[in-house]
Amino acid sequence: MRLIDEQGRLLGKVSLLDLGALAIVVVAIVAVLFFPGRQAGSVVQVGGGPTLPVEVDMIVRGVSSRSTEPFQAGQKADLIIRNQPYGQVEVVRVENVSRTVPVVFPDGRVQNLPDPEAYRLDLVFTLRGRGQRTENGIVLGNNRVKIGVPLELETFGYNLRGTVMDVRLPQS
């Protein structure tokens, strides 16, 4: 009896293709179990240190609103980081950073005037919550917060999506 017959079976019983597929599956399972890779874990897995006050500056461009009245400092708002709920944060400051347009007058002088596009605001929100400092950055809830991370801010009066401009630990 030959080791491999003319139909490609080992000892006439098991196909070499089946053995190859089984070997690939076993290697994949071993790789996942013993070498899981780097994953974003929970706060307990990431560090588990003490929570500290954290301030985050969030910019929201092109808000369609008649005024800045609904956006007041001192409010509590629900924060969603990368589509994961964090909890409530305090809105510490709201700054209108809407654009200005340089206008040249007939006498040659140039003056910056507010952008004529009505009802479009660019706002910077300063938010305060509690988080942890890890070797990889600041963690709010189970999410690392860095410049460029998408945030969603929701209160009774508005729901806004923006991005992180700055993250800092205020001096207490």
Confidence grade of residue 14 (pLDDT, cut at 50, 70, 90): confident
pLDDT category of residue 1 using cuts at 50, 70 and 90: low
The model's pLDDT over 57-102, given as tens digits with 9 standing for 90+, comes to: 999 998 888 888 888 888 899 999 998 899 899 999 999 888 888 9
Q: Are 167 and 54 in contact (CB under 8 A)?
A: yes
User: Domains in the chain, ordered, with CATH?
Assistant: 1-37 (no CATH), 45-168 (2.40.30)
Contact 132, 72 (CB under 8 A): no
Q: Encode pLDDT of 121-142 as tens digits.
A: 889 999 999 999 888 888 988 8
At 17, which amino acid appears?
Answer: L
Check: pTM over 0.85? Answer yes or no.
no
DSSP 51-78: -EEEEEEEEEEEEE-S-STT--TT-EEE
Helices (H) and strands (E) in the chain — how many of each?
2, 12
DSSP letter, residue 141: T
